[in-house]
Amino acid sequence: MSQYSAILGTGASLPRRAVSNQELTAFLAAKGVETSAEWIETRTGIQQRYICEPDETNSDMASKAALQALKAAGVLPDQVDLIVLATSTPDQVFPSTACAVQAQIGATHAMAFDIQAVCSGFVYALTVADSMIRAGQARNALVIGSEVFSRLMDWQDRTTCVLFGDGAGAVYLQGSDEPGILGCKLHSDGTLGCILNTTGRIEGGKIVGDPFLRMDGQAVFRQAVSVLGNSALELFEALNFKLEDLDFLVPHQANVRILHSVAKKLKLPEERVIMTVAQHGNTSAASVPLALNHAVAQKQIKKGDNVLLQGVGGGFTWGSVLVRM
């Protein structure tokens, strides 16, 4: 049984097609939706997002990200004994997307299951995998966030359709005698489910209810800034960790204004906040691992750095994980 778990590899996968704000606004104009590339970037910080083609699936992206994370760690798929995949947009009702990934990558010895906590999904999944490793239930884990949110979009709802994109990110987590994941704090408030949701469901072979993502943007913004700042401070206090010892913050990439507000609340200079929202848009559960992989690939985040990973999303859910890379 390992005392800790540690991140030893990261990976990412994006759809083939990048859609700029200019291309998106032209598409929306044809549907009678008025917006502009400048309006989108000014209010969100997003310059482009990736959109899946019909032949691209959640499990395909997740598998590519997982294999990249394994390669970075020098580990073979048949050594993996746990796959936890965070998604709100699975390939199908069941079997789980995690089981599809297990089959695609040849992780023949792995247990596999999905977690649904929307944009907090990755930090929830990471916490679960860390707990299972510490409990001796697993030693070698893939933790994945993968989403195809474009398939939940109402392309006539300007308040949501300009925000989201598709993608997948993954980390390889292994039992360790040295501190890797230092601590986790998760929260939820189901009374706030109304501010961000997709209420449709399958019943009797038909979609019942609204199949599209709906959001109260102002309410989500207020909650996100408040809970992310408080979550970080709560975790630091529990671990007796000093804010000045934090090297990088990797938050959920929802909106650049949220990222700036959280950085200000934590008194962090912006160069220590990893931001990829401009390139990826909001990819829900994939946003944190995509941003983490980007920072590792660019050699911003290095071995030994203290990194805070944060998610916030529908449910309402939120959480923080402090990691020593």
Annotated catalytic residues are 119, 252, 282
Q: What count of Cα atoms within 13 Å lies in the side-chain half-sphere of residue 81?
A: 10
HEC string for the chain = CCCEEEEEEEEEECCCEEEEHHHHHHHHHCCCCCCCHHHHHHHHCCCEEEECCCCCCHHHHHHHHHHHHHHHHCCCHHHCCEEEEECCCCCCCCCCHHHHHHHHHCCCCCEEEEECCHHHHHHHHHHHHHHHHHCCCCCEEEEEEEEEHHHHCCCCCHHHHCCECEEEEEEEEEEECCCCEEEEEEEECHHHHHHEECCCEEECCEEECCCCCEECHHHHHHHHHHHHHHHHHHHHHHHCCCHHHCCEEEECCCCHHHHHHHHHHCCCCHHHECCCHHHHCECHHHHHHHHHHHHHHCCCCCCCCEEEEEEEECCCEEEEEEEEC
In angstroms, the CA 216 to CA 40 distance is 17
In angstroms, the CA 152 to CA 144 distance is 20
Token pair listed for 27: 């598409």
Strands 248-251 and 214-215: unpaired
Q: Between vectors from CA 273 to CA 234 and to CA 134, what angle results, nearest 5°?
A: 50
